[in-house]
């Protein structure tokens, strides 16, 4: 009986360890970011099949290598971000429970995990086209070097610079099918690029004091809420004409996209009347998340033959 009890305890301990390691892994690679970016990568892939006349089911190997490679490249970049930011993550409520802060994952392991995931992801993308692999690496370099190591710690343009890497996934998806220039992937890139500043500036307003404590020069920290709100509204307004460049997706898509844009802009303008800036920032942040999901899902649905 004693041996059975001891065995059961050991099994439970091992199960807890495995669960903890898995949770730490998902935290390091920022699984939420991986999942959201895969939606945009898949949309780029799907639209490339639609506009080039290629069959989806006939190219499942391309679909697999594109999504698998994109996921690993994004996860690798996020792991490297975790490794680099471990000196400031403990200063912020949002990041103080990361494995690199708690000490449940050694920094060297996180570094090599990032390198390994990025390398394997790039090889996977090479199984589609060279252009997809190169664009993936450009996204990693922009996120790791230009954003994480430089601009995030030095100037308020960090959000804009970081937006370049966040706009890359739909380009990876498209070029994995068609490596040649087309207006559609360019518009997808612009949509993602313009979406990110209002999304992250709203988050920065919510977490303003945390960024201040960490010494990160986010726009609301350096220039205050009033300027940040104006910047957010300007970025949202820039989204208004973009859906019309995707008129080939049909009138229903144009209506959905325009309603989403007008609604976001109206909410942004309403912020100038609200006294509670943090409540408004929360609304804008939540709206931005739903905006992105609805918009890209609508693209996929409207491109179904």
- Sorted by where each starts, the structural domains of the chain and their CATH numbers stand as 22-302 (1.10.600)
Q: Enumerate helices (H) and strands (E) in the chain, giving the number of each.
A: 14, 0
- Here the tokens at position 233 are 């509204």
Residue by residue, what is the 3-state secondary structure of 99-126?
Answer: HHHHCCCCHHHHHHHHHHHHHHHHHHHH
Strand locations in 49-158 (E): none
Three-class secondary structure of residue 54 per DSSP? coil
What pLDDT is recorded for position 15?
45
Could you tell me if 183 and 208 are in contact, meaning their C-beta atoms sit under 8 angstroms apart?
no
Task: Give tens-digit pLDDT for 6-46.
Answer: 455 354 444 445 568 899 999 999 999 999 999 999 999 99
pTM value > 0.75 = yes
How high does pLDDT run on average in the chain? 93
Task: Give tens-digit pLDDT for 145-186.
Answer: 999 999 999 999 999 999 999 999 999 999 999 999 899 999
What pLDDT is recorded for position 1?
52
What pLDDT is recorded for position 4?
52
Compute how many other C-beta atoms are within 10 angstroms of the C-beta atom of residue 255: 12
Which residues lie below 8 Å from residue 101, measured CB to CB, with a gap of 6+? 86, 89, 90, 95
**Above 70 in pLDDT, residue 261?**
yes
What pLDDT is recorded for position 194?
98
What pLDDT is recorded for position 90?
87
- Here the tokens at position 24 are 């730490």
Could you tell me if 173 and 43 are in contact, meaning their C-beta atoms sit under 8 angstroms apart?
yes
Three-class secondary structure of residue 88 per DSSP? coil
Rounded-to-integer distance, Cα 107 and Cα 24, Å: 12
Query: Between 295 and 91, whose confidence is greater?
Result: 295
Task: Please report which confidence band the pLDDT of residue 305 belongs to, taking 50, 70 and 90 as the band edges.
Answer: low
Closest CA to 122 of 50, 73, 52: 73
- Which residue's entry shows tokens 């690798």? 76
Task: Please report which confidence band the pLDDT of residue 70 belongs to, taking 50, 70 and 90 as the band edges.
Answer: very high
């Amino acid at each position: 009986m004693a041996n059975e009890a001891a065995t059961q305890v050991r099994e439970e301990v091992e199960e807890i360890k495995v669960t903890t390691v898995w949770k730490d892994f998902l935290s390091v690679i920022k699984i939420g970011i991986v999942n959201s970016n895969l939606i945009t990568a898949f949309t780029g892939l799907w639209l490339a099949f639609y506009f080039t006349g290629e069959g989806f089911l006939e190219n499942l190997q391309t679909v697999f290598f594109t999504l698998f490679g994109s996921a690993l490249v994004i996860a690798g970049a996020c792991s490297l971000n975790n490794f680099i930011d471990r000196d400031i993550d403990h200063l912020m409520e949002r990041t103080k429970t990361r494995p690199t802060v708690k000490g449940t994952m050694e920094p060297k392991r996180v570094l090599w995990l990032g390198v390994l995931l990025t390398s394997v992801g790039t090889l996977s993308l090479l199984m589609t086209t060279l252009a997809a692999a190169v664009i993936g690496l450009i996204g990693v370099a922009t996120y790791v070097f230009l954003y994480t190591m430089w601009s995030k710690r030095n100037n308020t343009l960090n959000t804009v610079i970081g937006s370049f890497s966040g706009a890359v996934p739909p380009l990876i998806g498209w070029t994995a099918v068609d490596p040649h220039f087309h207006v559609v992937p360019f518009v997808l890139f612009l949509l993602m690029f313009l979406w990110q500043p209002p999304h992250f500036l709203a988050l920065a307003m919510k977490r303003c004091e945390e960024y201040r404590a960490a010494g990160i020069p986010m726009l609301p920290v350096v220039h205050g809420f009033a300027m940040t709100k104006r910047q957010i509204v300007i970025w949202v307004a820039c989204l208004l004409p973009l859906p019309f460049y995707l008129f080939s997706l049909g009138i229903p898509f144009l209506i959905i996209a325009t309603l989403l844009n007008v609604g976001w802009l109206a909410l942004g303008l309403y912020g100038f009347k609200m006294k509670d800036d943090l409540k408004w920032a929360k609304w804008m942040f939540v709206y931005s998340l739903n905006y992105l999901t609805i918009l890209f899902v609508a693209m996929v649905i409207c491109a179904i033959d």
